[in-house]
Amino acid sequence: MTEPSYLAAVRESYDTVADDYSALVKTPSELDPLSRSMLTAFAELVQASDRGPVADLGCGPGRVTAHMAGLGVSAFGIDVSPKMIELARISYPDLRFSVGSMTALEIEDDTLGGILAYYSTHHTPPELLPVVFAEFHRTLAPGGHLLLAGHVGTGEHRRPTHGYGGHPVSYASYRLTTHQIAELVSEAGFTITAQLVQERDEELNWKFASFLAYKPTAEEPA
């Protein structure tokens, strides 16, 4: 398929801010206890189901991928930004990282034990999220697990002019409601097992949410 036009802005923007992003964004060990617990729960579910490796989609500089590996999960990372992938390979040379897009994954059907999309889908226009979630469903093995986490809101569409480190960026950001995200995930064929909504900053009215889900087996309805 033809690459969606928004990806060029995401790629260029994250190539530009990659070094500062890596310096400024918290590592998984620095996250709040609830966020860490969701990552741990996801790792345990993937290990228990034993369906295959975890793909960290939108992996950035690879820190969450490495965190998964540290929890005993076979994990690899994919990101649309070549600069992010370069940083990930330098920091974690024993792990596998590649450049790619969530809209067209170069992964065979039903081969992943887990998909981690950690703050990596909010730049996707809402009308294209079904395409992304369909790719998640296609590549995840029956019985495999999904952890989707990111910003939520009331449907805001933001176009920041500057990003990490004050560098110019051209991507857009979409903050859907938790209900909208849950509905899209369910419509893609997943069964949601847990949702966690957290308040980040009352003054800025930032919220973020995590969704644990799985792909039903043939014997189980979606």
Q: What is the pLDDT of residues 123-151, one digit of tens each?
A: 999 999 999 999 999 999 999 999 999 99
In a domain, 60, yes or no: yes
Q: What is the pLDDT of residues 38-48, one digit of tens each?
A: 999 999 999 99
Question: What pTM, to 2 d.p., does this model score?
Answer: 0.94
In a domain, 14, yes or no: yes
Q: What tokens were used for 129?
A: 């999220």
User: Is the confidence at residue 166, as pLDDT, over 60?
Assistant: yes
In a domain, 13, yes or no: yes
List the domain range (segments joined by +) for residue 124.
6-214
Q: What is the CATH number of the domain that holds 97?
A: 3.40.50.150
DSSP single-letter state for residue 31: S
Helices (H) and strands (E) in the chain, counts: 6, 9
In a domain, 222, yes or no: no
Per-residue pLDDT band for 197 (boundaries 50, 70, 90) equals very high
Q: Which helix (H) or strand (E) holds 174?
A: strand 173-175
**By the 8 A CB rule, do 125 and 172 touch?**
yes
In a domain, 140, yes or no: yes
In a domain, 61, yes or no: yes
User: Is the confidence at residue 179, as pLDDT, over 90?
Assistant: yes
Give the span between the Cα atoms of 73 and 12, in whole angstroms: 31
3-state secondary structure of 33: helix
Q: Which residues contact 214 (CB under 8 A, 6 or more apart)?
A: 45, 49, 143, 144, 145, 146, 190, 191, 193
Strands 191-201, 206-214: pairing is: antiparallel
Position with higher pLDDT, 27 vs 98 = 98
**Count of structural domains, the chain:** 1
**By the 8 A CB rule, do 209 and 152 touch?**
yes
